[in-house]
Structure 1
């Protein structure tokens, strides 16, 4: 899988000039973030950082999208040139561009002295992810990866519940992320869907080292780009995980099943429910069924929570929950599974 971006329009050296009718933002108390990329997902980051009064500008190559932004946010500085944005005093960059461009854009931002939020996957190679995490540490800069599900209140609740010990030892996590979705040409379904679930699995298992990877995938539509992938992971702790992701599936399924010593926990991401099944098998191999319990989780917007967390980290200088090293761990597993798909 290539990571070269020298010929891509979203590579730093290929951005056109800044809109002449826009002024550069200066550093202010509140508006301290420039979002790079306002496409299908980037527009959501633009909206949330704007709602949090933190948006200092947007870099967008597409003239049509820039026009839409100008109409929606009349006073917002807009850039068609990434280097011009890096030259401002705005301290933080949020990268929401196609995955192959994440590494060069994040690297340029860190070298320019900016704190960085980069969408998943952090990079397409482990060495590149490690370079970014190391550089951020060396410079004392914030590097956060957009692992959105870690900011989903249901996942936070499950993590806290598991850490309380009430469920006993955690043995296995299984995830499914399936739908008839938008097929990409620059990344396969594994790199597109799996970062969400890998981040959750690592968080629930308290970031164990990976010991073994097994995987297989199928390509239906485009040569070399897997449309469905199943992976089985074994960790150094002896815990295991299974992932199934597909963008060529008739039903929308997004779920996380946690199997523990005393209970089984099911998070249905579509229905937004968490159910504890008080079921287990005892030492005599007898089934014990204490019924089920549906947990009432307060509704909130995980993307807004994620954006606010980044802003809080900018202020406190504390490492994000999804910091660069968590991004490295996710990319490492992504890359190991990719070897089975090539």
Structure 2
């Protein structure tokens, strides 16, 4: 199988390294001549392109797109039209209109479309999904995500589109449905035209609540997911790569119970290899990816609803 990596920037280079290790990398597209020349020296057997259009005319089976988000739709649509399967980094597109068009085009052409919602391929998240589905948490009351650090601020997209998209994909995957109601507030502490901190509250069918707190301006790194249910609380610490079950709850008589806590799973800090291996397998088996186009459309639609809620809250 031959995959051309389109984009060799900060994240694209990681995709390139992993595709190479998986034995699937056949070419690289990069508009920066210095980067392209560096790959030419170290990878004489690869096909190198300064323009993605030339790569789509090659005999590659698939492409992996890691370019700026505004370019995703055009490149992915062209790749599908050229008969290529497509892996595209998150967020899939900058609008739900483009997202729906892209997903529909892939389905109509019979092409694999997979979106780089990286943390869905973190073994800890898959384990939590199975744990919930097996009833180990009882009735799930709420899911809370925190993604906070002194991050790389952007001016083109707010923090929820930049890094909060990871948690949005996880929440929708764990709950298995889009939210019925969305509320949000944002803060522009850095003087940008976009929010550098966002708080989100989501309400799902069945009474499940979701909360997200995302910020580029935070004194310490905090990346965790917390679930509360009728049989206790589950905390996934993404930094430590541990999942801890706190067997603490309040019964119907309002009596507190504390049966201690234990680490019930230890995760893997390198999900990108697993993600790209899944893409390769889906292409070879012609099977639908875990993070397919349809699921990514719901993520984009929810992000748009959050943006609207944040904008509405800023009016008051």
TM bin (shorter chain):
over 0.9
The equivalences for 1:57-76 within 5 A come to: 57-76=27-46
- Partner of 1:210, secondary structure, is coil
Are 1:313 and 2:271 matched, yes or no? no
CA offset at residue 300 of structure 1? 5.8
Q: Deviating runs (4+, > 6 A) in structure 1?
A: none
Equivalent-residue separation in structure 2 for 1:282 and 1:304 (angstroms) = 43
Equivalent-residue separation in structure 2 for 1:320 and 1:218 (angstroms) = 35
Which residue matches 1:170? 140
- Partner of 2:4, secondary structure, is strand
| Stretch moving more, 144-153 or 185-194 | 185-194
Which residue matches 2:261? 292
1:223 maps to which of 192, 203, 208: 192
Which residue matches 1:103? 73
Which residue matches 2:83? 113
- Aligned 8 A contact 2:120 2:291 in 1: yes
Number of residue pairs matched by the alignment: 311
Equivalent-residue separation in structure 1 for 2:4 and 2:23 (angstroms) = 12
User: TM-score by structure 2 length?
Assistant: 0.95
Residues 333 and 298 (structure 1), Cα distance of their counterparts in 2 relative to 1, 3 Å cut: closer
Equivalent-residue separation in structure 2 for 1:77 and 1:240 (angstroms) = 49
The equivalences for 1:246-265 within 5 A come to: 246-265=215-234
- Partner of 1:186, secondary structure, is coil
CA offset at residue 222 of structure 1? 3.8
Which residue matches 1:271? 240
- Aligned 8 A contact 1:136 1:142 in 2: yes
Equivalent-residue separation in structure 1 for 2:162 and 2:265 (angstroms) = 30
Which residue matches 1:326? 295
Are 1:303 and 2:272 matched, yes or no? yes
- Aligned 8 A contact 2:145 2:224 in 1: yes
Gaps of 5+ in 2: 312-316
CA offset at residue 296 of structure 1? 3.8
- Partner of 1:237, secondary structure, is helix
User: TM-score by structure 1 length?
Assistant: 0.88
Which residue matches 1:53? 23
- Aligned 8 A contact 2:122 2:267 in 1: no
Gaps of 5+ in 1: 1-29
CA offset at residue 251 of structure 1? 0.7
